[in-house]
Structure 1
Amino acid sequence: MRILVNAQQLIENKLEGWGWFTYETLKRITKNNQCVEFIFIFDRKYPKEFVFNDNVLPIIQYPQSKHPFLWEFKFQYLIPKLIKKYNPDLFLSTDGFIPTTEIKTKTLSVIHDLNFEHFPEIHSYFVRNYYKKYFPLFASKATRIATVSEFSKEDIVNHYAINPEKIDVVYNGINENFLVINEQEKISIRQKYTKGQPYMIYVGSLNPRKNIINILKAYDLYRSNYSQKIKLVLSGSRKSWNSDMELVFKSMIYKEDIIFTDHVTTEQLTKLIGSALCLTYPSIFEGFGIPIIEAMNAGIPVITSNTASMPEVANNAAILTDPYSIDSIVNAMMIISTDENKRNELIIKGFDNAKKYSWDKTANLLWESVQKTLSD
């Protein structure tokens, strides 16, 4: 059997959500299925670590996928040519992109979420137009679809009128390095980032759908109403930081207690999360929400939202808030910071919930979806 794989999300030192899904699943699938030939299509030079096994043939198809015009050229013209050349049994795409022209090869498209349908403004003009034009086509043209939560499955069904029997839920996994760390290391991390003070942490890119403005407003109100000197660490890229966020930040009373780390390594992030009082993650929209289960696995209580996929992923092991209500977020912060029994209860429930998720399970589910695609 031969499987052609869209590997454009495997970018050295720049793995993000879709990239980590690609890395963790394909690393396992290629090693577990040695009799299958995998052809990885990269769009740039790749490190040897991305060629996971002897049954992986890496090829480079330029140009690099840096703009929607290039995405269109690549997936409507270049990829079909590669499919014709290599004649695979399956084309697997872990970022959803597939040819929409007529091809004989079966396709499995991993569509992680439809954030661009709900919040088109967070994307540039050309990106959101490409997504809104092509993702309905990707969904309808794919032989099968995999997605990362029941919420996202329902979202795809409702937006694109796709038969739910065509969609497989393949939950994300947990990076195994997110573990409980000892008290001495926690003290060291707090000393490094917050001058020894306890802190709440938000993890992820600082963009509007992550509810950064309400996190800032809630934190300022929380600090104004309660005496605890607890800082707030925002750990993620500020590439999408906008003027509205800046205006709110500058107006804060306790802005000096906000710590921006920007992007950090996975090793640094495991320590930052593991040393926090809690994860504060009242996002407006997520297709999954990996930080929720990573924090739980590290023994850290979680505040998240009662919307989108987050109640499904948190599974009664977090405090759920209304992300549009600042008071709701403040109340959750108050409970976490003052009620030790509640914190311990959430930690125990979080450990149990996190056990449901692993990249081994994700890889097995994705491989099951591959087999269903081949039999369709």
Structure 2
Amino acid sequence: MKIAVNTRFLLAGRLEGIGKFTLETLRRMVANHPEHEFYFLFDRPFDKQFVFGPNVIPIVLSPPARHPFLFYIWFEFSVARALKKIQPDVFLSTDGLTTLSTDVPCVTVIHDLAFEHYPKDLGLLVRKYLQHFTPKFAKASERIVAVSEFTKQDLIKTYGVPAGKIDVVYNDASDNFQPATEAEQEATKQKFSKGQPFFIFVGALHPRKNLVNLYKAFDKFKKQTRCEAKLLIVGRKAWKAGEISETFRQLEFQDDVICTGRVSDEDLRLLYGTALANVYVPTLEGFGIPIVEAQKCECPVIASNVSSMPEVAGDAALLVDPFNVNEIAGAMQDIWKDQGLRISLAYLGRKNLQRFSWDKSAEKLCESLTKAVQSASKLA
């Protein structure tokens, strides 16, 4: 097959959920299917590390698509022209957006519909763009890939997408995530938490990540235990972080919250491998890669009991109501006080990981592309 791919989220040193899915599935597809020809469509100069093999042809299309007006121009004009020139068998878009201006069969990966359920968490233009175009993208795509059963069911319920049109392809965590040694754990605490034990949150500082309730829960946990534990916030600031900042300023134990910003992949491995637990309590997730990353590092997990997170965490996490500060604080107390619980969750996490594999995900994604080509050819 000749496969064109939207790769605008392959950004060196800045990979988050969509970028990780794109990276891990594509590099396996490229390596495992040398018979296929891949055209990677970037919206800015690319890092050569993302040209995964001789069967990849990178193309830079202007303008950089980082604004709703530019989304439209890039997909409906730049991408459409490129597809007309390339004449691929299929167009894969891994970030939920695609073009409506092509006859090429499209496969679109949709990670979540958070903009439908929490619209106020996004800026007006982005929200309006997504709410207007995503149903059109879903209808126009030959097949849709959802990253969880939760997202699949949400697409069926919210947009009326036929179940048979949707393939579920899970995320996984990079093989770089491994447990930390005792020596590494001590060095990590000295480097990041003033030598003290800590809880960790990993993700963008975005309203949907629920940092406001996490901060309040940590403050309550500290008041109740008077322990020396810290809370490390690992991630970049995102949209509408004002309430998060305001809540932080009001914390009694503000000095025990440490914001690291982005860290290297190796430091992230060490932080997971050293933490008392990964406290990951968003209000909605399409998958929740930090849950799996933590489990690979034998880090206990506290996760939300909503959306995809129970599906991903399995029985290997303490599940809490993300809207209930007392529940989050109580789970942190349980982790702090009970070493046996921490050991048990780490063990269950290792077992849970058997359900996820980037190799399997890459093959399922490739199968979805094949099905799209076959179904499109039947209609031709």
Q: TM-score range by the shorter chain?
A: over 0.9
Cα offset, 1:239, TM superposition? 3.5
- Verify the 8 A CA contact 2:200 2:232 in the aligned structure 1: yes
Do the aligned residues in 2 keep the contact of 1:216 with 1:249 (CA within 8 Å)? Answer: yes
Report the counterpart of residue 74 of structure 1 in structure 2: 74
Quote the residue 1:289 is aligned against.
Answer: 288
The residue number in structure 1 matching 2:213 is 214
8 A Cα contact 2:276 2:342, kept in partner: no
Aligned to 1:129: 128
For structure 2, the residue ranges without an aligned partner over 5 or more in a row are 376-380
The CA deviation at 1:241 is: 6.0
Corresponding residue number in structure 2 for 1:174: 173
Distance (whole Å) between structure 2 residues aligned to residue 241 and residue 118 of structure 1: 16
| Structure 2 equivalent of residue 10 of structure 1 | 10
Instruction: Look up the match of 2:358.
Output: 359
Read off the aligned partner of 1:171 and give its amino acid letter.
Y
CA deviation map 1:70-98 (0-9, x unaligned): 11112122222222212111011111222
Deviation of 1:23 after TM superposition, in Å, equals 1.1
Check whether the contact 1:173–1:361 (CA below 8 A) recurs between aligned residues: no
Residue 31 of structure 1 corresponds to which residue in structure 2?
31
State the secondary structure of the residue aligned to 2:355.
Answer: coil
* Letter of the 1:139 counterpart: A
State the aligned residue count: 375
* TM-score relative to the length of structure 2: 0.96
Equivalent residues in 2 for 1:180-199 (5 A)? 180-199=179-198
Q: How big is the alpha-carbon RMSD for the aligned residues of Structure 1 and Structure 2?
A: 1.2
More displaced stretch, 242-251 vs 42-51: 242-251
1:179 aligned partner, one-letter code:
Q
Deviation string for 1:207-259 (max 9, x for gaps)? 11111111111111111111322111111112346332233222221111111
Over residues 151-178 of structure 1, what are the superposed CA-to-partner deviations in whole Å (9 max), with x where a residue is unaligned? Answer: 0011111111100110000000111111
Distance (Å, rounded) in 2 between the aligned partners of 1:275 and 1:318: 17
| DSSP 3-state at the match of 1:75 | helix
Structure 2: how far apart are the matches of 1:35 and 1:19?
24
Tell me the secondary structure at the aligned position of residue 222 of structure 2.
helix
1:78-89 → structure 2 map (5 Å cutoff) = 78-89=78-89
- Cα contact 2:62–2:78 (8 A) shared by 1: no
Offset at residue 47 of structure 1 (A)? 2.1
Q: CA deviation at 1:309?
A: 0.3
Give the whole-Å Cα distance in 1 for the aligned partners of 2:205 and 2:35: 43
* 1:294/1:354 contact within 8 Å kept: no
Task: Return the offset for 1:356.
Answer: 1.9
TM-superposed deviation, 1:14 = 2.2
CA distance in 2 between counterparts of 1:359 and 1:79 reads 27
Shift in Å, 1:340? 1.7
Q: Write out per-residue CA displacement over residues 272-292 of structure 1, whole angstroms, 9 at most, x where no aligned residue.
A: 111101101111110000000
1:368, distance to aligned residue in structure 2 (A): 1.5
Question: Structure 2 matches for 1:196-275, cutoff 5 A?
Answer: 196-240=195-239, 242-275=241-274
CA distance in 2, matches of 1:99, 1:30: 23
Counterpart for residue 153 of structure 1: 152
Task: Judge conservation of contact 2:36–2:55 (CA < 8 Å) in 1.
Answer: yes
1:185-207 deviations in whole A, cap 9, x for unaligned?
10011011111110000110111
C-alpha spacing 1:296/1:226, structure 2 compared with 1 (3 Å):
same
Secondary structure of the 1:355 match is helix
Within 2, Cα distance between the matches of 1:191 and 1:47? 33
Distance in 2 between residues matched to 1:243 and 1:16, nearest whole Å = 21
Unaligned residue ranges in structure 1 (runs of 5+): none
Query: Take 2:231 and 2:48, find their aligned partners in 1: how far apart are those partners?
Result: 39
TM-score with structure 1 setting the length: 0.97
Identity of aligned residues (%): 42
